[in-house]
Amino acid sequence: MVKKGSSRDEGKATKQVILFLVMVGLAGIFPQMYPDEFLLHVIVVANLLAIFAISWDFVAGFMGQVNFGQAMFYGAGAYFIGFITKAYQIPAGLGLIAGGFVAVLLSLAVGIPCLRLRGPYYSIATLGFCQVLFTLSMALTEWTGSEEGIRGIPKFITSVEGNYYFSFFLLMFLLVALKLLFRTPFGIQLISIREDERLSEAAGINTNLYKIIGSAVSAFIAGVAGAYSCYFHSHVSPDTLSIGLTFSAIAAVVFGGMGTIWGAFVGAYVLTFLNEYLYFMMEYRLLIYPLAIMLILLFSPGGLLAFFKELGKVFEHGNATSAEPHKEL
C-alpha cells in the first residue's frame, strides 16, 4: 500500500518537475519572442499579485486562518522601503529582506494576542489593524504624503525586462520553497491544524506556536512582495494598505482554488489580465470579482481549477499538486 502510493507519487512528482521546468523555460525565452514592454509590465504585476496571493493562501488555505488585512504586510514592506530610501542608501537585496522582517514584526503584534484563540478573532483583528494602518497612512501627511504617497524611490532594476526576470525568479523560488516546505514535518503539521485543530493539539502539536510561525512566514512573503513593488513602481501609496488589495489576493486564491499553491498563481494571472483587458467595461469590471467569488464558493468551492478538472481533466497535472498531501496523512 505504502509502496504503491509512493511510486504513484514519484510519477506525479516527475511530471510536476517536468511541467515546472517547461514553464521556467517558456518564461525565460518569452521576452525574446514578444519584446512588448506593456505585456511584460503586466506580467510583472501579475507575478507580484501571485506572490501576494500565495502568502494569503499559506495562512488561509493551509492553516485555516482567514486574514482580512493581509495588505498590511504588503504595505508595511512597501512603506518601509519608502521611508528608508529617503534617508539612507541601502542595497536593494537588504531592503527586500528587511521589508519582510518589518512585516513579520507586525504579524507577531497581531498574531500573538489573536491566534491563541479559536474563532473569528484573528480575522476581525487583522481587518481592524489594516484599517488602522490605512487611516494612519492617510493621516500622517508629513511622513507618508497622504493620498499622494511617496514618490521617486530609486529603482534597482531599471529595465522592464530585468524586472520581469527578477519577479519570475522570486515567484519560482517561492513556489519551490513552499513545495519543499510541505514535505517537511513542519509543513505537514501546519496542514493538520487546518484539518482538525483540537485533534492536532491532542496529538502534541503546539498549535499556537505553529499558527504564529505560519502567519509570520506568510507575512514575510507578503512583506518582500510589498518591498519589491515599491522598488518596481518607484512609488508607494495608501493603496498598498487598502481592503481592495487584500480582496484581490482573496479573489485570486478563491478563483484558482484554496489550499493549492498553483491555484493562487493561476488566479493571479487570470485576474491581472482580466483587469488589463477589460478596460472597456470601465467601473463595471470591479463588480465581476466579488460576484465571481460568491458564485465559485457557492457552486464550486474548490476553485476554477477543480471545476475544470471535473469538467474535462484538462488541467490534470496542474491541479494535482498541493491538494494531495493532506489526504495522505
Smallest distance, Å, CB 64 to other proteins?
7
Contact flag: residue 278 with other proteins (CB under 8 A)? no
CA nearest to 255, candidates 244, 266, 247, 245: 266
Contact flag: residue 247 with other proteins (CB under 8 A)? yes
Write the CB contacts of 2 (distance below 8 Å, at least 6 apart in sequence). Answer: none
Contact flag: residue 325 with other proteins (CB under 8 A)? no
Smallest distance, Å, CB 169 to other proteins?
31
Contact flag: residue 199 with other proteins (CB under 8 A)? no
Q: Phi/psi of residue 150, each to 5°? A: -105, 125
Cell numbers for 204:
502534541
Smallest distance, Å, CB 29 to other proteins?
38
By CB atoms closer than 10 A (0-12, 13-18, 19+), residue 27 is middle
Cell numbers for 72:
498590511
Residue closer to other proteins by CB (options 278, 294) is 294
Q: Residue for cell digits 465581476? A: 288
Interface residue with other proteins among 86, 118, 151, 313 (CB under 8 A) is 118
Contact flag: residue 129 with other proteins (CB under 8 A)? yes
Residue closer to other proteins by CB (options 31, 238) is 238
Q: Which residues pair with 235 in a beta bridge?
A: 151
What DSSP state is assigned to residue 205?
Answer: -
User: Interface residues with other proteins (CB under 8 A)?
Assistant: 60, 64, 66, 68, 113-114, 117-121, 123-125, 127-129, 131-132, 134-136, 138-139, 243-244, 247, 250-251, 254, 283-284, 286-287, 289-291, 293-294, 297-298, 301
